[in-house]
Chain A
Amino acid sequence: MTMLEVSDLRAALGGKPVLNGVSASIGAGEFVGLIGPNGAGKSTFLRAVLGLVPADGQVLVMGKDAATLDAKTQARCVSYLPQEREIAWPITVERLVALGRAPYLPPFAGRSGRDAEAVRQAMRRMDVAAFAQRPATELSGGEKARVLIARALAQDAPLMLADEPTAGLDPEHQITLMRVFSELAGEGGSVVACLHDLGLAARWCSRVILLHDGRVLADGSPAEVLTVERLRKVYNIEARIEQSAEGLLVQPLDLAART
């Protein structure tokens, strides 16, 4: 089943074009790494898919036109982890994660047993249950990031869009997160995550989309997309790429020599 179908998506920020016709079709079970240099349009792509920035082009979420989808229905289909990690008030971690259940709550009703179970599971998956009763604003940056990811997981949507989810996480929790995303895809969901860590993208994603200047430059398996020449051209770096028993390994080495 096609989870997300984007055709000819165009968007401009402050009069400057950021997306110049991006098309992609993402099916159930895919864990897609969205990569590209700063300013390539990765975040804007996610925001345009969600309707958070004005954009031209068509977006189909689970076969339905996103432009006509009502906000609550969309929230049950797509969860989103913004890059900005804002927590305005010192509410407890448990309450914060439970906010993710909002799209399921009928007006003026409290949370049901199913909501409580989803919250518990999300907290366990992101390893934040230990500080469930602490104010979220008092946690360290990486802990906050995990709590916010747990919030998006609690939303229990088949499609998850995550903007730089690994930023600020230690290696253990980076890998935990990659495993969680792989599990979600394995359970029939889809994940699209903006990633700067090419090593993580190569090792864990089932598919990589490389954006450059608001266009799709390459789209396919990590081994197809991540080549030495392409990284030199797009990122201006030299990298070692190696197919090993543990999977594809990508290690950036140095800046490319200017020619």
Chain B
Amino acid sequence: MSENARYVVLLGVLALVTAGLFVLSLSIGPASAGLGASLSALVTGDDGALTLVMREIRLPRAILGLMIGVTLGLSGAVLQGYLRNPLAEPGLLGVSASASLGAVLVIYTGLSVAFPLSLPLAALGGALVAVLLVRAMAGPGGTTLTIILAGIAVTAFAGAMTSLALNLSSNPFAALEIVFWMLGSLTDRSMTHLWLAGPFMLAGWIMLASLARPLDLLTLGEAAARSMGVNMRRVQWLAVGGVAASVGAATAVAGSIGFIGLVVPHILRPLVGSLPSRLLPASALGGAAVLLAADVAVRVLAPGRDLKLGVLTAIVGAPFFLWLVWRTRRQML
């Protein structure tokens, strides 16, 4: 089988798996109903209570799961290609940490109780501040190294401010809510969350997807890429802006969900011949499949206990990453 045919088959398989997991996600929940009954209630809308459950609870959850998975997989693949570093991940630019900080401040001040939508809005604001800071610190001729360092600094500061909010929180319920929110979850998200975060994620995807060819050329380093017509300033703006918009919006509705953006591009890279442009669609689909699977798993493994999505991805993702490191080390010896 030629390399092109293998690539098409891979994308087809990933798309099928993602579609299957999407349907599975729709069919799982505390309201017990058969797969056929719940899907027909969703589409036809003639089964009062079940239709409401499907349309207002499960559908936004499944769509958000799909979109956040695509966001994490795509932005992880773009950042690894842009920085030419297989350890880059969507949280690297400080976007996730700052979005979390925005959300935490709203919970801390009690604003989220009075006005629930203030939480995702503040998180988006946090992501915006992070990207402006990283851009400003990296400067006009920003190299990838200054971007990484600026991202680390922003992440550390946002983390410190989040700890401060927890530290000073006089209300134990608020503190508990902050901790729970930070663990990352898709429980009880509504269509409103989807309308709020969806456009930002879509805009971010378009920016990131336009980087396919420049990322291929960056394989040979910045000087060679520039000599072949790549505008590095534009690439930097699209990469940082696209990650901020999509990951910021994803964090705003679901909290921070780790390891998917790091591990998924890593696993798929050898399967697409390591070409960055081919990794982008594969990693987007792979991210969606993994996130939907994890969101199904938290509901199947511990029904009624509200196991957090971010906890599960970290529990599975960290040992898996360790295995990847071990395998890489063995190859290097």
A interface residues (Cβ-Cβ under 8 A, vs B): 47, 50-52, 71-72, 74-75, 78-82, 84, 86-92, 95-96, 99-100, 102-103, 105, 135, 148, 151, 155
A47 and B217 alpha carbons, distance in the complex (Å) = 18
- Contacts A95-B273, A95-B275 given; indicate if A89 touches B219 (C-beta within 8 A): yes
Which chain A positions have C-beta within 8 A of B6? none
Q: Does B189 contact A (CB under 8 A)?
A: no
Which chain A positions have C-beta within 8 A of B229? 71-72, 74-75, 102-103
User: Do B216 and A99 touch (CB < 8 A)?
Assistant: yes
User: Do B219 and A91 touch (CB < 8 A)?
Assistant: yes
From B224, B226, B231, B273, A91 is in contact (CB under 8 Å) with B273
Q: Could you list 7 A-B pairs, sorted by A, with CB under 8 Å?
A: A71-B230, A78-B227, A84-B221, A88-B218, A91-B219, A95-B275, A151-B220
Which chain B positions have C-beta within 8 A of A92? 273
From B224, B269, B273, A82 is in contact (CB under 8 Å) with B224
- Contacts A82-B221, A84-B223, A99-B220 given; indicate if A90 touches B274 (C-beta within 8 A): yes
A46 to chain B, nearest CB (A): 10
Q: How many A-B residue pairs have CB under 8 A?
A: 76
A161 to chain B, nearest CB (A): 8
A175 and B84 alpha carbons, distance in the complex (Å) = 33
B interface residues (Cβ-Cβ under 8 A, vs A): 84, 213, 216-221, 223-224, 226-231, 269, 273-276
A193 to chain B, nearest CB (A): 15
From A79, A86, A103, A135, B221 is in contact (CB under 8 Å) with A86
Residue of A nearest to B141 (CB): A54
Which chain B positions have C-beta within 8 A of A82? 220-221, 223-224, 227
A117 to chain B, nearest CB (A): 19
If A47-B223, A80-B227 are given as contacts, then 16 extra A-B residue pairs at C-beta distance below 8 Å, sorted by A number, are: A71-B229, A72-B229, A74-B229, A75-B227, A81-B224, A86-B221, A87-B219, A88-B84, A88-B218, A89-B269, A90-B274, A91-B219, A91-B273, A91-B274, A92-B273, A99-B219
Which chain A positions have C-beta within 8 A of B217? 99, 102
User: Do A50 and B273 touch (CB < 8 A)?
Assistant: no
From B216, B224, B274, A86 is in contact (CB under 8 Å) with B224
Which chain A positions have C-beta within 8 A of B231? 71
From B223, B230, B274, A89 is in contact (CB under 8 Å) with B274
- Contacts A90-B274, A95-B273, A148-B220 given; indicate if A50 touches B228 (C-beta within 8 A): no
A15 to chain B, nearest CB (A): 15
Residue of B nearest to A136 (CB): B219
A195 and B227 alpha carbons, distance in the complex (Å) = 20
B62 to chain A, nearest CB (A): 30
A26 and B310 alpha carbons, distance in the complex (Å) = 61
A118 to chain B, nearest CB (A): 14
